[in-house]
Chain A
Amino acid sequence: MPRRAQLAVVALVIAVAGCGGDDDGGDSSGPTTITFWNGFTDADRPAVEEIVNRFNESQDEVVVDMTIQPWDVINQTLLSAYSAGEGPTIVAMGAEQFAGYVSTGAWAPIDEVYDEGLLDPATLPAASIEATTYEGERYGVPMSAAAGMLYYNRALFDEAGLPGPPESLEQLAEYAVTLTDYHPADETNSVYGFALPDHGALPHWPVLLWADGGGVVADDNSRSLLGEPASIEAAEFWTDLLINEHISPIGLSGVEGDNLFAAGKAAMVINGPWSSGAFTEAGIDYGIAPIPPGKATQVSAAISVNMHLAADASDAERAAAYQFFAFWNSEESQTYWAIETGYPPNRTDIPPSAVAENPTSAGFAEAVGARLYLQGLTKASQINDDVVIPTIQRMTRGEGTPAELLPEAAAQIDALLAQE
């Protein structure tokens, strides 16, 4: 073969070899390596890494090989990775996506973790247990759990002569109007009473509807409640405050709402514990309070991220994953997690005094009425992103009244529910 052709063949071999898959690593006599994907890319990341390191150092049989990447990337690659047999042994996922994934058959039930006493469901957040139950079987264990709380800017409250956090949603609305200083000619000078996002955030509007006796979908997921009089009345109340009293910019995303609060341009905002670090860094003097009760009940949006086991995990990987699940939810790990991140500990048997070092964690442990939004629905994303959010945006832009738009949205949701 001529020299040039030989070179070309070598180049081809190298190129093809470069496309080859990687080895799974480890041999049968060594420790079991399990892969773990999660999206804790922000301030929580060091705490997640530390707990995984502690687990790896605590024993010789299991190695957790963790990849932290944005949630979007996980969502784009997870199912393809599973179908190629390259998916992670354990993946963390928000409760709102649970039904969509579990219905594809990607995950294995993990009832044994509870049946064999590795974890006691009675000491774990009820919302997390509910969020990981599908057709009577449990498909995950909690990774982090909290509920949305009201952050309020103490300096702005003092300036307006307000004594403390509102005690009812009606009072929250009154405070929001008092605190708002709207400058239509140049909104960069405005201060808003209550930053109320409609997308890319915790479910704010559903909480406002629940609190006044309405809702998006009935508890048994049989039909939509958006067209009910209680939902319409609550929506009219808040829409009016947005359009006519300017208590919040319209069409905010969660990040934009946080930015306003961090800039001292919003007096109240609802969010999870992860925002506290940014608010402290921005020099905001804030307090944390439970979302106050509405006319019907006191409720907040449950935030639940859970760990799930791949359906194709081997027995050894399964046993290794169970060991890690138990370690993550041990008293020691959860105390560390709460102090470092501001999340309340996953275990209800850890006393508040153990995490008092971090007031955010202690504050979030006081959340009332944590409730999952669109729980157990495989069409949850479509219901929220394709119907609820656009309807709220139309409503708040004055492209129709709640009485016109909400029954229409309810019909669209009912059609989606029929496909469940």
Chain B
Amino acid sequence: MSRRIQRRRTRTALAFLAPALTVITVFVLWPMASALRASFTDSRILGEAEWVGFENYTRLLSDDRFTNALKNTAWYALVTTPVSVALALGFALLLNRRLPGRGAFRAVLFFPFVASLGVVSIAWAFLLDPQVGLVNHWLNQIGLSIGDGVRDPDWAMPAVMLVGIWRNTGFFMVMYLAGLQSIPRDIREAAVIDGAGPVGRFRYVTWPLLSNTTMFVMIIASIFAFQAFDQMYVMTAGGPFFRTETLVMLIFDTGFRDFEMGYASAMSWALVAIILLLSLVQIGYFRSRAVRY
């Protein structure tokens, strides 16, 4: 291919990509760069912002609220990520078999992911309400209790975790189903012929061959966890006494309630750095275990 034709093709490709690139630049890259600039100022949205250097970042280090939100977010991620991924894998293995009503079960599990999290959080808050909720009423019938539900300092975090897990499991399950269906049938058949039982087949064939899917799902699951906001905003407002306040909630309050956009931008960039670091660690970990076939 001559260089001229290649150049023309590149130009055409770029021209087709231009609308998407324009949108990404205007709505993603530019706001990110703008937030980075704001994080070095005392921006309050309106009026002139003054350059404050690293002041906002050093303030983060001594801010108890930030530390608390970081701990809450980490705790939320630490529980919801493995639990939702494990459940998703379990459901995917189950629903990858020939079962009656398989399509309906898949749809039911996937539905929470497409429903508005704000709306389902309101529904969950009602269900878990100790005075008018069904869940507590049923649990009471068998002698169990979840205290004051989302208002209880001990139960508020588990409650919002439950909603997060319930919401994302179906999405991860679909990812795993796609992964399972891409495993070549002959490899599985070979394992069966070699006398491998179901546990052996999973351990030595399915699980290693799903490592790329697992990497993707784990990374996405931890990003989702670090971005947790909606259900806390709706169900607990971050309470009781900051027990469920996550980083994104704190960023939201700092930016849109206190109008401290400079400080909120610094927190946002700290969150970007945390997610980036975590994703790199995960990629490094899974790459070393990737199986090619």
Contact = CB atoms under 8 A, between A and B. Distances in A.
Interface in A365-409: 381-382, 385-386, 389-390, 393-394, 397, 399
Contacts of A390: 239-242
B256 A76 contact: yes
A105 B16 contact: no
Interface in B13-70: 15-16, 18-19, 22-23, 26, 44-47, 65
Interface stretch (B124-132, B199-207, B275-283): B124-132
Contact of B16 (A11, A16, A263, A385): A11
B46 A106 contact: yes
B47 A187 contact: no
Contacts of A253: 237
Interface in B240-262: 240-242, 253, 256-259
Interface in A170-213: 185-188, 190, 192, 199-200
A192 B256 CA distance: 36
A102 to B, nearest CB: 11
B153 interface: yes
Nearest to B255: A76
Nearest to B253: A385
Interface stretch (A46-54, A79-87, A297-305, A318-326): A79-87
Interface stretch (B92-100, B133-141, B163-171): B133-141
A12 interface: yes
A394 to B, nearest CB: 6
A230 B82 CA distance: 51
Interface stretch (A1-9, A29-37, A136-144, A233-241): A1-9
A250 B151 contact: yes
Most buried by B among A19, A79, A185, A252: A79
Given A106-B46, A250-B148, A381-B257, A12 B241 contact: no
A30 to B, nearest CB: 30
Interface string A57-98: 000000000000000000110011011000000000000000
Contacts of A192: 131
A418 interface: no
Most buried by B among A11, A82, A188, A389: A188
A125 interface: no
A100 B137 CA distance: 43
A411 to B, nearest CB: 15
Nearest to A100: B259
A381 to B, nearest CB: 5
A199 B46 contact: no
Given A8-B12, A249-B130, A393 B45 contact: no
B49 to A, nearest CB: 11
A66 to B, nearest CB: 23
Interface string B152-163: 110000000000
B140 A186 contact: yes
B11 interface: yes
A83 B38 CA distance: 14
Nearest to A386: B65
B151 A187 contact: no
B26 A2 contact: no
Interface string A244-280: 0000011111001001100101000000000000000
A187 B131 CA distance: 5
A188 B15 CA distance: 63
B81 to A, nearest CB: 28
B47 A105 contact: yes
Interface in A293-342: none
Interface of A: 2, 4-5, 8-9, 11-12, 14-16, 19, 75-76, 79-80, 82-83, 100, 104-106, 185-188, 190, 192, 199-200, 249-253, 256, 259-260, 263, 265, 381-382, 385-386, 389-390, 393-394, 397, 399
Closest CB pairs A-B (n = 9): A8-B15, A251-B151, A15-B19, A390-B241, A79-B45, A186-B140, A393-B240, A188-B137, A12-B18
Interface of B: 8, 11-12, 15-16, 18-19, 22-23, 26, 44-47, 65, 129-133, 136-137, 140-141, 148, 151-153, 237, 239-242, 253, 256-259
22 contacts: A11-B16, A12-B19, A14-B19, A19-B22, A19-B23, A79-B45, A79-B259, A82-B46, A83-B45, A104-B46, A104-B47, A105-B46, A105-B47, A186-B140, A187-B130, A188-B131, A200-B237, A256-B129, A260-B132, A382-B257, A385-B253, A393-B239
